[in-house]
Amino acid sequence: MKALLSMDASAFPLVFAEPERTRLGQLVDVDVSRPDRPLADLTVAERQSVELLITGWGAQQLGEAELDQMPRLRGVVHWGGGVGFLDPSAPARGIAISSARAANAIPVAEFTLAMIILASKDAFWVSRTYGQRQAEVLREVELAHTGLFRRTIGIVGASSVGTLVMRLLQNHAVDMLLFDPYTTPEQAARLGAEQVTDLAELARRSSILTVHAPELPATRGMVSREVLAELPHGATVINTARGSLIDQDALVEELTAGRLRAVLDVTEPEVLPPGHPLYDLPNVFLTPHLAGSTGSELQRLGATAVAEVERFVVGQPFAHPISP
């Protein structure tokens, strides 16, 4: 079976370790020496022989004209998340599509869980106080408000990441509230959460609010000035989704006033310009889009992709199918 790689060449060895590269060579006829080879560089016969595309970050745009050049193409295995590079007509052409979105959700959910636990203990802020004071912190007196036990966590979005966060939180004695207009109360209950249909109400009842909605025109700024104002004094906002989902100017005002705290792995824009207040505010824990797959975690994406290639080769449906 003829396969073609399409991705950033520098990412290929990071995502596909030696065992995965060897396995790919056993499964399909593919040139692993040119993971970024443009479709235009192939001969007409080579393009017409491609049955499977293996894609990732930096994949070339594949519109209708490009798909027309690959009449035998029947599968796309993408080790990234979204497949915006692929023309929406692909399914109608009989092309099955797989994404490693679920695999990438694992480190994001793990990171989020860690941030929830540390935020509930005031770990970020107490560390700074301890360093400045260089003397005893009276935990029972000064930190009487902290702890994860029976804390109310508000989850915005039952996405792949949001769902996994809720499943991880089921192992902890917390109360979960879920805002997602596409989820039923029964579905929320199966995840251990109470469905809340009003985002402002969810904020009002949450001491930690964590954002996991997709970035769409309808979700930009959904955590608005009004929603932020409903959060209790001392509440923490966690965002590992997209910076545009929060009214960032309003959040900065709340943080500057000292009313809220924030754990932000994403911002708007990304990267923030030099001198932006989010870099220096003492009640902000800021990371550079660290939650997604990094380092060894990238190899999980490659292993997931190879498993999908194996399923495709033997005629089984993808384990992680998606639609553009």
- Name the one residue in this structure whose structure tokens are 């001491």: 207
Domain hosting 144: range is: 105-286
Mean pLDDT of 15-23: 96
> 205 and 279 share a domain?
yes
Q: Per-residue b/e over 144-157, b at no fewer than 16 CB within 10 Å?
A: eebebeebbbbbbb
Catalytic residue among 289, 297, 300, 310: 289
> 61 and 115 share a domain?
no
Longest CA span, the chain: 75
Q: Place 142 in a pLDDT band, splitting at 50, 70 and 90.
A: very high
pLDDT, one tens digit per residue, over 257-300 is 999 999 999 999 999 999 999 999 999 999 999 999 999 999 99
Residue 323, domain member (yes or no)? no
> 226 and 189 share a domain?
yes
Residue 128 amino acid letter: R
Catalytic residue among 78, 101, 242, 311: 242
Residue 319, domain member (yes or no)? no
Residue 241, domain member (yes or no)? yes
Q: What is the DSSP letter of 259?
A: S
Question: How many domains does one find in the chain?
Answer: 2
Question: Rounded to whole angstroms, how far apart are CA atoms 233 and 25?
Answer: 57
Dihedral-angle region of residue 162 (phi above 0 means left; psi in -120 to 50 means alpha; beta otherwise): alpha
Minimal CA–CA distance to 302: which of 103, 82, 109, 105? 103
Residue 318, domain member (yes or no)? no
Q: Which tokens belong to 227?
A: 């929603």
Nearest-5° angle of CA 169, CA 302, CA 239?
Answer: 35
> 180 and 229 share a domain?
yes
Residue 53, domain member (yes or no)? yes
Mean pLDDT of 58-76: 97
Question: Rounded to whole angstroms, how far apart are CA atoms 234 and 145?
Answer: 10
> 77 and 109 share a domain?
no
Residue 322, domain member (yes or no)? no
> 248 and 300 share a domain?
no
> 178 and 255 share a domain?
yes
Minimal CA–CA distance to 211: which of 236, 186, 174, 184? 236
pLDDT, one tens digit per residue, over 180-234 is 999 999 999 999 999 999 999 999 999 999 999 999 999 999 999 999 999 999 9
Question: Rounded to whole angstroms, how far apart are CA atoms 110 and 97?
Answer: 26
The pLDDT of residue 127 is: 95
> 152 and 253 share a domain?
yes
> 117 and 95 share a domain?
no
Share above pLDDT 70 across residues of the chain, in percent, rounded to a whole number: 100
- Name the one residue in this structure whose structure tokens are 């490659």: 302
The pLDDT of residue 81 is: 86
> 156 and 40 share a domain?
no
Helix 160-169, helix 101-120: angle, nearest 10: 50
Q: Place 82 in a pLDDT band, splitting at 50, 70 and 90.
A: confident
Q: What is the mean pLDDT of the chain?
A: 97
Strand partners, 75: 52, 96
Residue 320, domain member (yes or no)? no
- Tell me the helices (H) and strands (E) count for the chain, helix number first: 13, 11
> 149 and 282 share a domain?
yes
Task: Residue 241: count other Cβ atoms within 10 Å of its Cβ.
Answer: 26
**Has 46 been annotated as catalytic?**
no
Q: Per-residue b/e over 160-181, b at no fewer than 16 CB within 10 Å?
A: bbbbbbbebbeebebbbbbbbe
Rg of the chain on CA atoms, in Å: 23
**Has 289 been annotated as catalytic?**
yes
> 163 and 217 share a domain?
yes
Q: Which CATH number covers residue 59?
A: 3.40.50.720
Residue 235, domain member (yes or no)? yes
The pLDDT of residue 180 is: 98
- The answer to whether the beta carbons of residues 69 and 18 sit under 8 Å apart is no
Mean pLDDT of 4-14: 97
Catalytic residue among 64, 142, 226, 270: 270
Q: Place 323 in a pLDDT band, splitting at 50, 70 and 90.
A: confident
